[in-house]
Amino acid sequence: MDSGAVYRHLKVLTFEETNKLALTDKDVESYLDYAAFLIALSTGKKTQPSVTQRNSQAERIVKGFTNYPLEAKQFLCRSQVVFSYLKYVWDNADAAERNLATQGILEKGKVSVFEAASVLAFDHIGAMNAWKNVIELPYCYELD
């Protein structure tokens, strides 16, 4: 497979040489959608950050990427896959499953502001495992 084919559809925003991690525009967009989802779960309010807020947070994420802990960088680079999967599961869960999953996620912490640092500090792996403990996840894979 031609690896160049992938990069025709994704824009690499930054690259971390040591661990060979490429952060793409789709990763950042998905991560910001994931952050908005966590805020909605934490506050009970469905809010969308403004374009200015999203752009500001995206810029901060890209600028700080190489300084983040390895786990945060890896999670950011997986955001497109993780949030797509999470959204699929959420959309197919019933109300009882959603409530249990929300409780499990909120035990890992709450995110109440659209701030990259607070969202990056959130226990994402714990949250995904909370989902796994509540809902029988199709095509489940382990996050490490």
Task: Compute CA distances 83 → 3, 42, 46, 67, whole Å.
Answer: 23, 17, 17, 23
DSSP state of 141: -
Q: At what angle do helices 124-134 and 95-107 cross, to 10 degrees?
A: 150
Quick one: the chain helix, strand, coil %, rounded to 5? Answer: 65, 5, 30
Nearest one of 52, 56, 57, 51 to 111, comparing CA atoms: 57
Residue 143 resides in a domain: no
Residue 144 resides in a domain: no
Residue 122 resides in a domain: yes
87: number of Cβ within 10 Å: 14
In the chain, what percentage of residues exceed pLDDT 70? 68
For 43-80, write each residue's pLDDT tens digit.
Answer: 777 777 889 988 988 898 899 898 888 888 888 888 88
For 71-116, write each residue's pLDDT tens digit.
Answer: 888 888 888 888 887 888 788 888 888 887 777 777 766 655 555 4
- pTM value is 0.73
Average pLDDT of the chain is 75
The tally of domains found in the chain comes to: 1
Residue 140 resides in a domain: no
Residue 141 resides in a domain: no
Residue 105 resides in a domain: yes
Residue 142 resides in a domain: no
Residue 125 burial (C-beta neighbours within 10 Å; 0-12, 13-18, 19+): middle
Residue 139 resides in a domain: no
Helix (H, G, I), strand (E, B) or coil at 121: coil
Burial readout 109-118 (b: 16 or more C-beta within 10 A, e: otherwise): bebeebbbeb
Domain that holds residue 52: 3-134
